[in-house]
Structure 1
């Protein structure tokens, strides 16, 4: 029997009932085949789709979450990959993005932590094994992981820091799944450690994306940088990205606040031991909540105009739910993004 835990809430900011309303809003937009589009009629990408599946499970919508994972199993290519964007009736963007392909491992481990359903983990294993194999074929000798392959198999020529940071976390989740099921994959953790070392020591290994907030906080959110290194990184560009009482700018040179990145950044600060900042960010994100539990994707200040096109996306709602769980800290998966060594195999990275 799968475990059931109360829907998380954060005292003084959002109740468990309100978070459940947000979970149910995601479920409302899920398609019958399991796909979770960004919004009705929109596309889905496997990364944000998995984020939504994790949020559904946190709200007790286990059947809907497992239907989302089945959608991935049904669409996986023979080489272990998924395309970057799907529409209800087919592929929209056929690029094969390594970060997107690795992320189902994070979702599968999260789902196991919540449910204890070994059958689910065993069902996911062949897909995860193939997906991680595809991803590691893109790892360079130095350790970074190239962004993607074209649909014909041709690799892209550069790596991205945000994507590689997320992959580092996904590799640890995949290794945890392997260990739980008794499969030996020591090279997965070796690859994660090499990747973390590059993130820590070789900034020039990645294409420059310094305008983007995710490149700032993702190495912390995903556990490649911890302790003093994490706090130093977050402090260094705080002024560039944080707009007090509003949230996180998605790019440093525009007053464009995004609720998902605000919540992800909150989890990064929580992982760095900066709970006060994490709580402030999450509190600011609640101003973007609408009746019914949905959240605006982005808001331009000072005009207060919502973008893009008034969008209230499922992936934004999912980020809020994951951040609520991390801040409440009571659920069995709540520390997955905030205390990486608690639930994952430890990295072995040279100091």
Structure 2
């Protein structure tokens, strides 16, 4: 891994320093940990020997971009471009990132859509027009695959099974993530002068469903992701976003430890905690965001990576794994708090296209 500033740190790890959370040396160790799991072909599994899924692979690539490791991030996106299925999808899981060894031949719509978020983030970080042009057909194909699963109410069915059967059931978390991805895809399309009116309509209908029609989604209210994801993805903003955060705070946040993944389980997780911090930053609650990030430093291991979760009743890390995506979520939250332009643009969402409001109730 190339050291670009002569100081034992990556070229932009100054944006990843946050008092009480990360020093420059700690940030570099975390970046190095993610990079150490990346295969020579660009794949980033959860950890070496485990599986890769396209969403978490993309999140890890975004963290590498936030750290200035643009070549590594570009290699991650090249892996996706090289192994996209003819219909625009990817499989849900690949053993250790080996494209010849998928372990789940189904396809999850939010996994496939997230490429657009990563590609736009990489372009904002690098200004690489050649990269954007090269990735555009892959983004477009992924969006068409995803929108093929949109239901009449605007929500997106969450999965296609290995046999080809599409699942009509929609997940609020997944659909909110897709909404962010569609807005990033529209930003790419606008930048390239390639208008996509069908995507604009689909984006508006999906946002409307997320904000106004919880009954169109499977009931997963006991998962913290369903609580904060509409805020994290920029679908919900303003006073309503703050109200949503307040409504779920006591249920999900364990003071001093982090955020429960599932209520009532006594289990806090680093990924959900870092994502909540990013959502808090996005709605102007930076002090609380820093507090959450500081709280989860008990998950930090000596190698700079983060344990996935902690069962506080047993005082035990569980599962016994340190995942690239947990580290990536933390780095992206720190990058936003530090003012990294690409990260603030994507998660602040103020300048992302909104799509068109549907004429429905």
**TM-score, structure 1 normalization:** 0.94
Aligned partners of 1:25, 1:336: CA distance in 2, in Å? 26
Question: Match for residue 115 of structure 1?
Answer: 126
Write the mapping of 1:201-212 to structure 2, written as runs, cut at 5 A: 201-212=212-223
- Displacement of 1:348 after TM fit? 4.9
Write the mapping of 1:1-351 to structure 2, written as runs, cut at 5 A: 5=12, 6-87=14-95, 88=98, 89-308=100-319, 310-329=320-339, 331-336=340-345, 338-342=347-351, 344-349=352-357
Change (3 A) 1:129 1:45: same
Pick which of 187-196 and 175-184 moved more.
187-196
Residues 297-349 of structure 1: per-residue CA shift (max 9 Å, x gap): 100103321111x21001101001101101112x221314542113x123554
Question: Match for residue 6 of structure 2?
Answer: none
Aligned partners of 2:357, 2:289: CA distance in 1, in Å? 26
- Displacement of 1:153 after TM fit? 2.6
Unpaired segments ≥5 residues, structure 1: none
- Displacement of 1:21 after TM fit? 1.6
Mapped contact 1:271–1:337 kept (Cα < 8 A): no
Residues 248-303 of structure 1: per-residue CA shift (max 9 Å, x gap): 00001111010111000011112222222212111112221122211111001033
Residues 125-184 of structure 1: per-residue CA shift (max 9 Å, x gap): 110010000111111121111111123332102000000000000000011111111211
Pairwise CA RMSD of aligned residues? 1.6
- Displacement of 1:11 after TM fit? 2.6
Describe the SS at the equivalent of 1:257: strand
Describe the SS at the equivalent of 2:57: helix
Pick which of 82-91 and 259-268 moved more.
82-91
Describe the SS at the equivalent of 2:296: helix
Describe the SS at the equivalent of 1:335: helix
Mapped contact 2:202–2:355 kept (Cα < 8 A): no
Residues 99-129 of structure 1: per-residue CA shift (max 9 Å, x gap): 0000000000000010001111111111001
Aligned partners of 1:348, 1:59: CA distance in 2, in Å? 35
Report how many residues are paired: 345
Residues 21-68 of structure 1: per-residue CA shift (max 9 Å, x gap): 211111111111211111111000000000011111122222211111
Mapped contact 2:241–2:283 kept (Cα < 8 A): yes
Unpaired segments ≥5 residues, structure 2: 1-10
Aligned partners of 1:296, 1:306: CA distance in 2, in Å? 7
**TM-score, structure 2 normalization:** 0.92
Aligned partners of 1:338, 1:17: CA distance in 2, in Å? 26
